[in-house]
Chains A and B, each alone.
Chain A
Amino acid sequence: MSRAALRERMVGLDARLKLGGALFALLVALAGPAPYTASAVAVLALLASLVVGERAGVLLRRLGVALFSGLALWALHGLLRPEASGAWRLGLVLGTRVAAGATVFGLLIALTPPWALVGALRAWRVPAPLAEVIALAVRYATVLERAAHTAREAQILRLGYRGVRRGVHSLGALGGLTLVRAFDQAHATAEAMAARGCRGAHLPPSGDQS
């Protein structure tokens, strides 16, 4: 089976299964004997990522966070008590745990569309109002991100970030503008839904893969 076909098959798997599996792997990495369990989980997730065709550069970037965390803890304990030994082991334990988290999480995100993950949460009996807020927030996050990006571009064109004072002022205006647009958009959405007879049920079907 080719990598593309394998990846496609993995993407098509039930999101609940993948989310549950990822959560289980993360908990095993945290609860198991350190640093061996976390290392094993990280290596397995790394191999799986390579098998399904993840780019090596992306994987290395993820492991960079783990390396940084491990080094930071080593340095922290070295700074506090340089005479005591074991700082390197603490750094190793933390580094492997973060590596396990980063690789498992990266694999989950690479193989599962965001909509499917939201559907999986819904299927796991997340309270309906909360699931509704999550579903709506997902729909509008990208819209708002684009709106904020457009506003920022316009500010840059008007030299809004020229100088510290202007830059700070523009940043605040950008936040305010994004929020005002968010509220306007929310209002329009709610009214449109109400006009179509919707009374609070804005949820996607559970297990929605679209």
Chain B
Amino acid sequence: MPGFSGRGCGAVLRHCLQACLQSAPLSPSAGLAALVVLLLPHPAHAMHLAEGLLPFGWAAGWTLSVLPLLALGVTRLRQRMAQSPLYSPFVAMLAAAVFVVSCMPVPVPIIGTCSHPCGTGLAAVLIGPVMTVLVTFVALLLQALFLAHGGLTTLGADIWSMGVVGGFVGYGVFHALRSVRASLGVAAFAAGMLSDWATYAMTSFELASALHGAQPLGSTLGTLLLSFLPTQLPLGLLEGAFTAGAVVFISRRRPALLKFHALPAAPATP
């Protein structure tokens, strides 16, 4: 975003590097490699695990474990479609919107990297967490097949982080805050932000569990979380602001959409 200052994040990055240096004696080659990796300008696919990143067993495990949720989503979709033929176009449109929203480049103020919002927190607020899993599957599948963004063998893990964890956290936080009479903007901001951070935490766990090798899982996870921090901390705040802005905008223009997941059928045209 033009005008966004990178000084705060630079300080976070320096802090992280100092923490790393203090916690472990760093060999010169590893230090050089860490520096190169941190300074390399690269396209950030922070929320999507690239094809080939997970070993076979882990990729299969994440994919198989997400199938029941997808099946539940398909069952609900079928039920809603039986109630209203308008439902499937709405869900498809939301999937396309998540696809588009997550393709929007949001410059993250760290060494020229660019990332994107997820949109799953927003989707969960609008259509509920189970359908968000389905919407995430469709959006990720299209991104994989159209743009090679993410992958097919990592699709299950990506659905877990974005759709399941991101969706359920976003939905839970939004409704918990609304139940204690938080304003719409605040609840949506928290939902978007925490959904984003939960997604990145889950992504870190997926990476750490698959790639920790002989290292303890905890230390690998901690290092991954720390290394994601400079990018994801501001991105989570941006995602929160994005979700809050979108929800407030929708509440002014189409308030019926905010109760969409509770409706048995799509809202009627005026």
CB atoms of A168 and B1 under 8 A apart: yes
Complex alpha-carbon distance, A31 and B56, angstroms: 5
Q: Given contacts A99-B52, A141-B99, A176-B247, are A82 and B119 in contact (CB under 8 A)?
A: no
Shortest distance from the beta carbon of B206 to any chain A beta carbon, whole Å: 14
CB atoms of B97 and A178 under 8 A apart: yes
Q: Is B68 close to A, CB under 8 A?
A: no
CB atoms of B52 and A29 under 8 A apart: yes
Q: Which residues of B contact A3 (CB under 8 A)?
A: none
CB atoms of A105 and B56 under 8 A apart: no
Known: A27-B56, A79-B34. 7 other contacts (CB 8 A): A71-B33, A75-B33, A75-B36, A78-B29, A78-B33, A145-B103, A186-B90
Residues of chain B touching chain A, judged by Cβ–Cβ distance below 8 Å, are 1-5, 20, 24-27, 29-31, 33-34, 36-37, 40, 42-43, 50-56, 59, 74, 77-78, 81, 85-86, 88-97, 99-101, 103-104, 106, 117, 119, 122, 126, 134, 138-139, 141-142, 144-148, 151-153, 211, 213-215, 219-220, 223-224, 227, 238, 241-250, 253-254, 257, 266, 269
Q: Which residues of B contact A79 (CB under 8 A)?
A: 20, 24, 26, 30, 34, 223
CB atoms of A186 and B27 under 8 A apart: no
CB atoms of B42 and A68 under 8 A apart: yes
Q: Which residues of B contact A62 (CB under 8 A)?
A: 148
Complex alpha-carbon distance, A118 and B241, angstroms: 34
**Which of A98, A129, A180 contacts B81 (CB under 8 A)?**
A129
CB atoms of B92 and A161 under 8 A apart: no
Q: Given contacts A140-B92, A186-B89, are A169 and B134 in contact (CB under 8 A)?
A: no
CB atoms of A175 and B141 under 8 A apart: no
Q: Which residues of A contact B4 (CB under 8 A)?
A: 164, 167
* Nearest B residue to A109, CB-CB: B148
CB atoms of A129 and B78 under 8 A apart: yes
Complex alpha-carbon distance, A129 and B89, angstroms: 11
Q: Say which one of A5-13, A46-54, A130-138 lies at the interface with B.
A: A130-138
Residues of chain A touching chain B, judged by Cβ–Cβ distance below 8 Å, are 22-23, 26-27, 29-31, 38, 62, 64-66, 68-69, 71-82, 84, 86-87, 90, 94, 97-102, 104-106, 109, 114, 117-118, 127, 129-130, 132-138, 140-141, 143-145, 148, 161-164, 167-169, 171-180, 182-183, 185-187, 189-191, 193-194, 198-200, 202
Q: Which residues of A contact B241 (CB under 8 A)?
A: 168-169, 171-172
* Nearest A residue to B123, CB-CB: A179
CB atoms of A145 and B100 under 8 A apart: yes
Q: Which residues of B contact A97 (CB under 8 A)?
A: 52-53, 55
Complex alpha-carbon distance, A145 and B102, angstroms: 11
Shortest distance from the beta carbon of A137 to any chain B beta carbon, whole Å: 4
CB atoms of B245 and A78 under 8 A apart: no
**Which of A87, A106, A177 contacts B249 (CB under 8 A)?**
A177
Complex alpha-carbon distance, A185 and B96, angstroms: 11
Complex alpha-carbon distance, A87 and B32, angstroms: 14
Q: Which residues of B contact A30 (CB under 8 A)?
A: 52, 54-56, 59, 153
Complex alpha-carbon distance, A94 and B177, angstroms: 42
**Which of B86, B213, B243 contacts A90 (CB under 8 A)?**
B213
* Nearest B residue to A90, CB-CB: B213
CB atoms of A132 and B53 under 8 A apart: no
Listed A/B pairs (16) with beta-carbon separation below 8 Å: A30-B153, A76-B220, A82-B25, A82-B26, A101-B50, A105-B144, A105-B148, A127-B74, A134-B138, A136-B89, A141-B96, A141-B100, A163-B3, A172-B241, A190-B85, A193-B85
Shortest distance from the beta carbon of A178 to any chain B beta carbon, whole Å: 6
Q: Which residues of B contact A127 (CB under 8 A)?
A: 74, 78
